[in-house]
Amino acid sequence: MPEPTSTADGPALDLPPERLPRHIAVIMDGNGRWAQQRGRPRIEGHRRGADSARAMTEECARLGIEQLTLYCFSSENWKRPRPELDFLMSLLVEYMAQQRAEVVRRGVKVSVIGRREGMPEKALREMDQTIAATRGNTGLHVCLAVNYGGRAELTDAVRTVAREVQTGRLDPEQIAEQTIAEHLYTAGMPDPDLLIRTAGELRVSNFLLWQISYAEIWVTDCCWPDFGVPHLHEAVRDYARRQRRFGGLSTESGLA
């Protein structure tokens, strides 16, 4: 029997490691509603949301999850009022600067996916510093989706592929699914196994459109600032009970 998930300093999950998702992706939604329900400004929800992101990173590292991808800011979120955008960008700068030493110490590797164009210089600088400082780390990989849109990502990939065809480096007949995957921002990363969305909306909101083809989806009504270790454990336990078929037949049904 495989060993249950380690419980260094937290509650046990009692799941064999091979039942754990390798890659968890999270649509961290409901910061604004969390604040509004309390008669507080939306930005307070974003601040508390950043605390949840930190807690989630710690717990995923503890559980031995390989990758955690957090949807921080979508390319469509620029439609929001200027003061909220300014706050979100300054929170990103603050979060990067404050958390850098901690993620380095924990052996966490940080990467960022999304378009750089349109992002404030300061935010890019802080993100680049964290990426560089954690590049050699081999612990949990935290991938932050910032100014990210799934359609924008596919558009960028198509442009790059088209350029390679134009210059004769790529034969159109040779374009395979793997070719597309290798031209996405997520090249080299495993696809998400588990997609978590908080605050109850049943939609993907332009997140990792290609990569979530076979992700198991888990939605909770809990708003992101209230999302904690017990919710993560519930999602992972639920995931561990599911049968993934990828279009085939279940091995557990004996029909495979």
> CB 89 → ligand IPE: shortest distance, Å?
11
> CB 252 → ligand IPE: shortest distance, Å?
34
Neighbours of 120 (CB within 10 A): 14
Classify residue 124 by burial, with Cβ atoms within 10 Å: 0-12, 13-18, 19+. middle
Residues 6+ positions from 105 with CB-CB distance below 8 Å:
none
> CB 159 → ligand IPE: shortest distance, Å?
24
Name the E strands within 170-214.
Answer: 194-197
Which does residue 239 touch among Mg ion, ligand IPE, none (CB within 5 to 8 A, set by kind)? none
> Does the annotation count 147 as an active-site position?
no
Of 9, 14, 29, 31, the active-site residue reads 29
Element holding 126 (H helix, E strand): helix 121-134
> CB 29 → Mg ion: shortest distance, Å?
4
Instruction: Choose one: 29-37, 100-108, 123-131, 248-256; the region binding Mg ion (CB under 5 A).
Output: 29-37
What is Dmax (Cα atoms) for the chain?
A: 59
First to last CA, the chain: 23
Which C-beta is closer to Mg ion: that of 29 or that of 193? Answer: 29
| Residue numbers at the binding site for ligand IPE (CB under 6 A) | 27-33, 71-74, 77, 88, 199, 201, 203, 205
Which C-beta is closer to ligand IPE: that of 36 or that of 160? Answer: 36
Which C-beta is closer to ligand IPE: that of 77 or that of 90? Answer: 77
Q: Is 74 in the site for Mg ion (CB under 5 A)?
A: no
> CB 230 → Mg ion: shortest distance, Å?
22
Of 9, 77, 147, 156, the active-site residue reads 77
Please report the sign of the dihedral spanned by the C-alpha atoms of residue 98, residue 234, residue 144, residue 47: negative
Query: C-alpha distances in angstroms, 163 versus 77, 156, 166?
Result: 29, 11, 5
Chosen residue from 29, 59, 153, 193 binding Mg ion by CB under 5 A: 29
> Does the annotation count 156 as an active-site position?
no
Three-state DSSP at 169 gives coil
User: What six digits make up the tokens of 12?
Assistant: 């046990």
Which C-beta is closer to ligand IPE: that of 13 or that of 28? Answer: 28
Which C-beta is closer to ligand IPE: that of 44 or that of 182? Answer: 44
Query: 210, 110, 194: which is closest to 156 by C-alpha?
Result: 210
> What residues make contact with Mg ion under the rule CB under 5 A?
29
Active site (catalytic) residues: 29, 77
